[in-house]
Chains A and B, each alone.
Chain A
Amino acid sequence: MRRDGNRWKAAALAPVLALACVLSALAANPLSDPVLEQRARNLSRELRCVVCQNQSIDDSDAPMAQDLRRIVREKIASGASDDEIKVWVSDRYGDFVLLSTPMKPHTLLLWAGAPIFLCLGLLGVFFYWKRRRREKATPDALTREEEERLNRILSGNGDRAP
């Protein structure tokens, strides 16, 4: 949305906005119990804001994120567990709102993908070195020209073509 001419204005505004975001996260009526409030903050950091999708609801100032922060606090105050709250939110918005992807059959490839590719890479490196070592140990056989030249040199005829 920012126009080029406004870049400096935007740069000057950035710290103000950052401060506003921090204040807004705090302004969501913090719970009086610091332990519960910490749980609410941690949980808010794990929930994606569905409006600005690369922010958590703890970072976002979108009205819907404010509502979700309030709901998280209400649920914590009424004794819900973290998992219960996550299920409540993902029942409405899907697994996409959970910033850490849950381990489920259809996310298995995602979780196992990186280790599988690492193993494939290590296997590739292993076979590459094995082949190189074998090639070094047994040098290529001489070609016919090389063999004839060698024979000429060994038989004392000198290194000259006939």
Chain B
Amino acid sequence: MKKRISALIPVAAFAVIVAFLGYRLFDQSRRPVELPSVRIGKPAPDMSLPPLLEGAAPLDSGFYEGRVAVVNFFASWCGPCAEEHPYLMELSKRPDIVLVGVNYKDRNGRDWIAKRGNPYAVIGDDSKGVATINFGVYGLPETFLIDSAGIVRVRYAGALTGKVWAEKFEPLLGMNKP
């Protein structure tokens, strides 16, 4: 009898390992595709980009210094960017945030904005992709919340919706109010 129980030990150990690995494999909250941003809690990188729209002001990070900024990385070829566009239009009406756009390596960004409307206070043309890499962006769209002290508070990868905004962005807006 004692022998039979000890023979079960390897089987039990194997079951424990399978359960652990299986849990980590299917655990949706820890998907490796969703890279955690190393920028959270750190100063946002400076940006200095030429304007996307003709005659508009260039994008300089001094523009939103001391204000709460939402920086949105987008491109015309990106499906979820079109999906979140109506919500960004809505967001642009808010007086307490500056909505900043960064157009990533895109030839049709100007036409895209002309066709759909411009939700951004200022849009930078990141034709070399360096500003985008400085923010640690790995896919489009991505949206960052930068507080009035210039610290990155939230990074969200994927289309921004009212639900995402209410869950991830809105609760942090009260922080660091001047």
Contacts and interface: CB of A to CB of B under 8 A. Distances in A.
A93 B136 contact: yes
A92 B133 contact: yes
Contacts of B39: 92
Contacts of A71: 130, 133
Interface in A87-117: 90-94, 96
Interface stretch (A8-16, A28-36, A60-68, A136-144): A60-68
A53 B129 CA distance: 19
Contact of B35 (A63, A64, A94): A94
Contacts of B135: 92
A51 interface: yes
A108 B36 CA distance: 20
Of A51, A53, A64, the most chain B CB neighbours within 10 A belong to: A64
Of B35, B132, B134, B139, the most chain A CB neighbours within 10 A belong to: B35
Contact of B136 (A53, A63, A92): A92
B32 interface: yes
Interface residues of B, number: 18
B35 A96 contact: yes
A77 to B, nearest CB: 16
B16 to A, nearest CB: 13
Contacts of A68: 133
Contact of B130 (A63, A67, A90): A67
**Interface SS of A by simple majority:** helix
Given A51-B138, A53-B32, A63-B105, A93 B129 contact: no
Contacts of A64: 129, 132-133, 138
B129 A67 contact: yes
B176 to A, nearest CB: 23
A93 B138 contact: yes
Nearest to B134: A92
B157 to A, nearest CB: 11
Contacts of B138: 50-51, 64, 93
Contacts of B105: 63
Nearest to B35: A96
A91 B35 CA distance: 13
A5 B37 CA distance: 39
Given A63-B105, A64-B138, A93-B138, A50 B35 contact: yes
B38 interface: yes
A98 to B, nearest CB: 12
Of B32, B38, B105, B135, the most chain A CB neighbours within 10 A belong to: B38
Given A64-B129, A93-B136, A94-B136, 14 more contacts: A50-B138, A53-B33, A63-B105, A64-B138, A67-B128, A67-B133, A71-B130, A71-B133, A92-B39, A92-B135, A94-B35, A94-B36, A94-B37, A96-B32
Interface of B: 32-33, 35-39, 105, 128-130, 132-136, 138-139
